């Protein structure tokens, strides 16, 4: 390792730090050097400061990336590590995604101290979530359940379960696995029951578009199969111009024959759901997602993407 230190920007949450440390470890494995060559810079974001209400009420996507991207633009850091599902589809001018790590488990995790699965919850049970996507899909699968707002890290949510605020909650399997907390997963939820958020389980490394040196440095960390899948999923989301106010789900998967994609758009109450599927060659990832979004828009009508109260 030679030259100036490569400063890694990240949020300060346990998961964000775990992801930043993973990026640093991979850079050291690829290029050598010590921790001092890859300092981790913690940046507090708007999303970290708002703890008393759902994020959808205060702007949705970008709340966990804005300040980090500003630091990247101002050259206070050299690269940024994000949970890719938190990223806006349109990045600020001058920034780009330089690499995507290999994806973790894409599924949502059902977490309960008393019940074995979503299906096993008793009639009228209470589930906690701050995700409109999860709420809509829960209401679709189990309209008898009561849904309450639920934010916080893993420990906070477990404490709320112990206090009886809710009978169950949901988190991404990927985050729990990366934190070494997979033992808290009561049951993974099949994607046929709860389709994940776009890019769930993927970690993105964002850089300045003109920074060829950093782009070359992180190139060995890019996982091409994951990159193809999230390209299709983000193209789908871009077409829908979705935000945290619209329940949208999408998942691309690679097989021997190419790439397959499933997408879903729901009303917040889960009563109306439109689905789409597409497939094609590996090189058509963006087009597959874009086409799926166009089909869904044509099928759904404007009320799906209208503001909901």
Give catalytic residues, as residue numbers: 86
Q: How far is CA 184 from CA 52, 110, 111, in A?
A: 25, 9, 7
Q: Please enumerate in sequence order all residues whose Cβ is within 8 A of that of 96, keeping only pairs 6 or more positions apart, or say none.
A: 206, 207, 208, 209
Q: In what order do the strands lie in the sheet with 108-111?
A: 146-148, 126-128, 168-172, 108-111, 187-189
Interatomic CA distance for residues 238 and 235, integer angstroms: 5
Q: What angle do CA 162, 166, 168 make, to 5 degrees?
A: 90
Whether the CB-CB separation of 247 and 137 falls below 8 Å is answered with yes
In DSSP terms, which residues pair with 148 in a beta bridge? 128
Pairing verdict, β 40-42 and 79-83: unpaired
Q: Which two tokens stand for residue 36?
A: 């001092």
């Amino acid at each position: 390792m030679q030259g100036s230190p490569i400063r890694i920007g990240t949020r300060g949450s346990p998961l964000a730090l775990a992801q930043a440390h993973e990026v640093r470890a991979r850079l050291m494995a690829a290029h050598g050097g010590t921790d001092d060559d890859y300092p981790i810079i913690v940046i507090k974001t708007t999303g970290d400061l708002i703890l008393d209400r759902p994020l959808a009420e205060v702007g949705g996507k970008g709340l966990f990336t804005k300040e980090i991207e500003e630091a990247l633009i101002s050259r206070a850091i050299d690269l940024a590590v994000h949970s890719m599902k938190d990223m806006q589809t349109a990045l600020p001018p001058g920034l780009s995604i330089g690499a995507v790590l290999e994806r973790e488990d894409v599924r949502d995790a059902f977490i309960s101290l008393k019940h074995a699965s979503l299906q096993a919850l008793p009639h009228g049970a209470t589930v906690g979530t701050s995700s409109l996507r999860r709420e809509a899909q829960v209401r679709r699968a189990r309209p008898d359940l009561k849904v309450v707002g639920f934010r916080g890290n893993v420990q906070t949510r477990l404490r709320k379960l112990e206090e009886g605020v809710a009978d169950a909650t949901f988190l991404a399997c990927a985050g729990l696995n990366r934190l070494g907390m997979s033992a808290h997963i009561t049951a993974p939820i099949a994607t046929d029951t709860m389709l994940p958020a776009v890019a769930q389980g993927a970690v993105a490394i964002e850089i300045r578009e003109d920074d060829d040196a950093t782009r070359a440095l992180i190139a060995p960390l890019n996982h091409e199969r994951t990159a193809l899948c999230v390209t299709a999923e983000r193209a789908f989301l871009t077409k829908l111009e979705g935000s945290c106010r619209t329940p949208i789900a999408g998942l691309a998967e690679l097989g021997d024959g190419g790439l397959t994609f499933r997408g879903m758009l729901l009303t917040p109450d889960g009563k109306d759901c439109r689905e789409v599927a597409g497939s094609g060659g590996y090189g058509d990832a963006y087009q597959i997602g874009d086409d799926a979004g166009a089909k869904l828009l044509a099928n759904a009508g404007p009320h799906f993407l209208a503001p909901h109260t």
